[in-house]
Structure 1
Amino acid sequence: MKFNVTLDRDEDGIWIVECPSIPGCVSQGNTKEEALENIQDAIAACLQVRAERGFPLTIETQQVEVIA
């Protein structure tokens, strides 16, 4: 499966990555590459826990362009 993720830096320079279609699925890394590797493990773990608890594996998300 492929998932969209968001990637941002916090005030300390740590890369934060989140998978919006899996509630609570967040990871981080010192570099972009590390953060993206870490989110793969987080996604697998989150999907496993959601399956074990009988939760839907993902929630529907939609990308929308917002012009401000």
Structure 2
Amino acid sequence: MRTFSAVIERCPSTGLLVGYVPGFPGAHSQGETVEELQANLHEVIEMLLEDGEPQLEADFVSLQQICVAS
């Protein structure tokens, strides 16, 4: 079992959720709900792994929130 971390953002022009796995080329998808996006990412990652071990371009470390005065 492998675990990948995905970043999820909302596209302002379409309203769709867009997700990608940092450092994993091609590991991205979209969906109307988090559940749909998660299923789509799962499918994409499985297909990519069928081609062999990915050459990750980076290792995901964490997400941080940075607060600045406005």
Please give the range of the TM-score, normalised by the shorter of the 2 chains.
0.7 to 0.9
Aligned partner of 1:57: which letter?
Answer: P
RMSD of aligned residue pairs (Cα, Å): 2.0
Q: Aligned equivalents of 1:31 and 1:66: distance in 2?
A: 23
Unaligned runs of 5+ in 1: none
Q: Aligned equivalents of 1:62 and 1:27: distance in 2?
A: 18
**Would you say how many aligned residue pairs link Structure 1 and Structure 2?**
63
Q: Are the counterparts in 1 of residues 31 and 37 from structure 2 also a CA contact under 8 Å?
A: yes
Runs of 4+ in 1 over 4 A off after TM superposition: 64-68
Identity %: 25
In the superposition, the TM-score normalised over structure 2's length comes to 0.73
Unaligned runs of 5+ in 2: none
Identify, as 1 or 2, the structure richer in helix: 1
For residue 33 of structure 1, report the CA deviation from its aligned partner: 1.2
